[in-house]
Structure 1
Amino acid sequence: MSDLREFDVRSGVDEDVWQLSVTGTVEQSVTLSIDYLRSLPLETYTEDFACVEGWVAEDCAWRGVRVASVLELAEPTDASAYALVHGMDDEYACSFPLARLADAVLAVELDGEALPVDHGGPARLVPTESESDCWESIKWVCRIDLRETEPLAGDTAEELALSRIE
């Protein structure tokens, strides 16, 4: 654990009240419960998870919903081109081109079990591209904010994530 804020977020995660909101340049903002998210078609994505700190977790079997399925519910406008995906502490967010984000998985399971809070449950963003950085795999996803323009560097967590590496 690299800082107390991360610990506080983990201890405050409650699946019964957790929600995922999709907002911004959409026809209708939507808010989903974990039960609703799990009711959508699930698929499994298996890959090694390599951290910039140097460790690798081999053959992680993430099971979840393609982000494209969630975005369809909110009906992105034609102007939607980017998204800022937020973790529960709202300071940790990553920017993605919308087409790249659509291919990612919102994992609700890991290796056949419900995704534990320590690993980002109830829902964690898992980019499916081999070029993805580990810090883009956002734990405790709670909001996807669609935008017409690319978020500024200061809106994202790259600097925060890399500052946690010892």
Structure 2
Amino acid sequence: MSGLETHEVPEAVETDGWRLTVDGCVDRRLSLSHDDLRAMELASATGDFSCVEGWTATDLSWRGVRVVDLLRCAGPDEEAAFALVHAMDGEYACGYSLDDFGGALLALELDGEPLPVEHGGPARLVPAGDSDCWESVKWVSRIELHATEPADTARELALSRLR
């Protein structure tokens, strides 16, 4: 499988009965199962993944739902300008401007196999373009749209690791 490092899975991560919620500044609140997501048009992204801890996994192949398709289904309202992506551990969240967020992929597979929980399954955010590793949110459970920039924990956690 991939060259991604494996880290301990938090106790709060429970994949049985998992659902993705898309809410906040939207016209339609979504609650999607893994099967619902797999029934949508899937896209692929390939690239290297570098971590601030000093390792790189090369040539990873992700497959999942384009975030722009999820947003289209939810119908962001006129005020929506930011997204806050929550991990199911209840502690980790990362904020994005909608301009940067739409090109991301919500990965359901890694290297042709279902995304294992050790690597962020059932769904992991894979941002488009050059991004920091901490922006690739594991165990995504909620995408919350906001009118104003939300506070996120991801940036603070990443900065604390670099100090």
Q: Same fold (TM over 0.5)?
A: yes
Query: How big is the shift at 1:3?
Result: 8.7
Alignment of 1:26-41 (within 5 A): 26-41=26-41
RMSD value, Cα:
2.0
Query: How big is the shift at 1:48?
Result: 0.3
Partner of 1:67: 67
Out of 11, 15, 18, the position equivalent to 1:8 is 11
Partner of 1:103: 103
Partner of 1:145: 144
Partner of 2:129: 129
Query: How big is the shift at 1:164?
Result: 4.6
Which residues of structure 2 form unaligned runs of 5+?
none
The size of the alignment, in residue pairs, is: 159
Partner of 1:86: 86
Does 2:158 align with 1:157?
no
The 3 A distance-change label for structure 1 pair 40 and 3 is: closer
Aligned residues of 1:13 and 1:117 also touching (Cα < 8 A): no
Q: For 1:91 and 1:3, how far apart are their aligned partners in 2?
A: 16
The 3 A distance-change label for structure 1 pair 94 and 134 is: same
Query: How big is the shift at 1:165?
Result: 6.1
Percent of aligned positions that are identical: 55
Equivalent residue of 1:53, what SS? coil
Q: TM-score, normalised by structure 2?
A: 0.90
Query: How big is the shift at 1:156?
Result: 2.9
Larger proportion of helix: 1
Equivalent residue of 1:60, what SS? strand
Q: For 2:6 and 2:49, how far apart are their aligned partners in 1?
A: 18
- Structure 1 residue runs of 4+, over 4 Å off? 1-4
Query: How big is the shift at 1:157?
Result: 1.5
Q: For 1:147 and 1:165, how far apart are their aligned partners in 2?
A: 28
Per-residue Cα deviation, 1:4-48 (whole angstroms, up to 9, x for no partner): 7x4314xx422x410100111011211000110111111110000
